[in-house]
Amino acid sequence: MTDQIAAISGAGLGLRRSLLDELGEVGLDEVQFLEVAPENWIGVGGRLGSALRAYTERFPFVCHGLSLSIGSTDPLDMALLTDIRAFMRSHNISVYSEHLSYCSDSGHLYDLLPIPFTEEAVRHVAQRVGQVQDFLGQRIALENASYYCAPQQEMSEIDFINAVVAEADCDLLLDVNNIYVNSINHRYDPYDFLARLPLEQAVYVHVAGHYNEAEDLRVDTHGADVIDPVWGLLQAAYGLCGPLPTLLERDFNIPPLPQLLEEVGTIRQLQQACVSQRPAELLSGRKGA
């Protein structure tokens, strides 16, 4: 785990504007960190800006970008990066992540689209990540993204992710729901995929719900409860790399806050179970050595 995330731990929740009032009574014993998309808050003042400031003074935060379009052939949006850097410094936020995808082509496309799994794309993305890291003065994390087609595919998804993270020398935002969704849609073993990721570079984790479009099609929506197979993948991830800070994503169909906090509580329970089990596993390993 890199030292830039020392300030976050435990179980987190995505801060949505609809939750601003309700979360006011929640403390660090229930939610240990929060996440925002900086694009949704940059330049926001007045009551909403003051409310955000109140939260960033109470909770550790991470930034999860939506619009950097790291895989695009368009020039990097340096004005956006300038705003993101200023926003993070203003709110004392040290972690920035983005999706391993693109969302622009001579203008914003308002969707996260898959980067072709090619050697050329690996070099292109790595070069752009290097630019971003140099500009921000820190490492960034890329999230393994959900996708529904693989245009111009020359290498596997897992090989592509590993190559990008290695060549870019960046971190990984591990999304276990995206692994599950992709494993159904593209017919692979999610546990094997998880084990082959560069988990030594993982800095935090996303867990979320999705939509069952058909028997063989899942859609990553962040609009439903987390299902048992995804909780199982999260538990397996902890077994491989320890109880990394983990954030519950919920973007719409947001239930009452107590229901959200139950899922955040499930994250904490799995983390605590991992902590209690790992010493026994290590001792067992020593005995068998």
Q: Would you list the domain boundaries of the chain?
A: 3-288
Q: What is the pLDDT of residue 67?
A: 84
**Residue 175 in 3-state DSSP?**
strand
Per residue in 193-238, pLDDT (tens digit) is: 999 999 999 999 999 998 777 788 787 787 889 999 999 999 999 9
Q: Closest Cα to residue 37, out of 100, 79, 88, 111?
A: 88
**Residue 142 in 3-state DSSP?**
strand
Could you please state the CATH topology (level 3) that the domain comprising 3-288 is classified under: TIM Barrel (3.20.20)
pLDDT tier at 152, thresholds 50, 70, 90 = confident
CA atoms within 13 A on the CB side of 176: 28
Q: What is the mean pLDDT of residues 107-126?
A: 78
Per residue in 7-39, pLDDT (tens digit) is: 799 999 999 999 999 999 999 999 999 999 999
**Residue 99 in 3-state DSSP?**
strand
Tokens 């935090």 belong to 204
Radius of gyration from C-alpha coordinates of the chain: 19
Q: What is the pLDDT of residue 99?
A: 92
Q: Specify the pTM.
A: 0.90
Per residue in 42-82, pLDDT (tens digit) is: 999 999 999 999 999 999 999 999 888 887 888 999 999 99
Work out whether the CA dihedral 273, 279, 281, 284 comes out positive or negative. Answer: negative
